[in-house]
Amino acid sequence: MTNQVVGAFWYLFSIEREDTCWQKHCDNTTGCEDKDFYCGKNHSKTFAYLYNNCSFIDPDDIKNKSVFNFGIFTDALKSGVVESRNFREKFFYCFWWGLRGLSSLGQNLKTSTYVPEIIFAVFISIFGLVLFSLLIGNMQKYLQSTTVRVEEMRVKRTDAEQWMSHRMLPENLRERIRRYEQYKWQETRGVDEENLVRNLPKDLRRDIKRHLCLDLLKRVPMFEKMDEQLLDALCDHLKPVLYTAKSCIVREGDPVDEMLFIMRGTLATMTTNGGRTGFFNSADLKAGDFCGEELLTWALDPHPSTNLPISTRTVVAIIEVEAFALMAYDLKFVASQFRRLHSKQLQHTFRQGLKPCLSTF
């Protein structure tokens, strides 16, 4: 935007300086009138005389003081951009001149002794310096912020290495921890996303969670039938989680303590149907899919067992996975806050919706 403004003023001043040159020579020429400045098809002899006497010579090549010095506007006049009717040509040439002048802080400008021209050149130099200072300031802030986060990450890694060494963890386990920390840094750049969102006002927090999580929740058939108030409550309890490749999230026969809603990555689910001989079934879960739906019937039971439901399959991350987790007791808490979930009709709706989920495995 600034380049365009500077280039536009340069273009207008170029026209003004050429007109000034014509006026100067016209005043010294007998019979010259303003109408002779007309540059249509029928050029007068006077116009030809004025045009020839206002030649566009580079300031460094001027030897005779009687020659009109166009200063920094010589390029515009010599290039023909002033006479051109091609708007694109005018726009980009002036834009380039403005960018070149500002980026060089006006050091490439060779002015005449014309005071307004000098003031214009000074303005370009000062404004270019201001823009350069702002750029350096913003880069410095960014680098300082990045440096602080990198240093924090370095300290955490050092602490982790010392702890792993103190506990004499095996090398393969150490490598898994390092890989997880590296992946977490790549995804978050040291930003504590959960804490950042938690410190925002409630309405902003709700809208952010809706934007990030609502579509994922609605992929669950039973959640799709729920009202907005309940969905907002569920969104508010979702927590971001990361898993590296080959991470075992849950094993067949282990208690299910969370539902996972996948944003990125791929999970593999495998079941042996309780260890039945010769039985094995597997499937992949990708972005938009979910697992851990065993918690739904457990949370909806008005008199639930204190024991969590048992997983019917093993879930492993094939590649790095970014997901949202809904913990078992958060789901139970939301269910207890909305007593209408305990109605027989709604429980029936949930169980009907659960069938297509389970049938995919």
The CATH class, in words, for 196-358 is mainly beta
Please give the pLDDT value at position 298. Answer: 82
Instruction: Parse the chain into domains and list their residue ranges.
Output: 2-134, 196-358
**Quick one: pLDDT band at residue 316, thresholds 50, 70, 90?**
very high
Percentage of the chain beyond pLDDT 90 is 4
Q: How many other CB atoms are found less than 10 A from the CB of residue 155?
A: 10
The pTM is what? Answer: 0.54
Indicate the pLDDT class of residue 329, thresholds 50, 70 and 90: confident
pLDDT of 40 higher than 60: no
Q: Whole-number mean pLDDT of the chain?
A: 80
- Residue from 235, 237, 233 nearest 216 by CA: 235
Around Cβ 176, how many Cβ atoms within 10 Å? 16
- Is the pLDDT at 356 greater than 70? The verdict is no
User: Residue 360: its pLDDT value, please?
Assistant: 42
pLDDT of 23 higher than 50: yes
Is the pLDDT higher at 276 or at 227?
A: 227
pLDDT at 179 over 80: yes
Task: Count CB-CB contacts under 10 A for residue 173.
Answer: 11
Token digits for 35?
């109408």
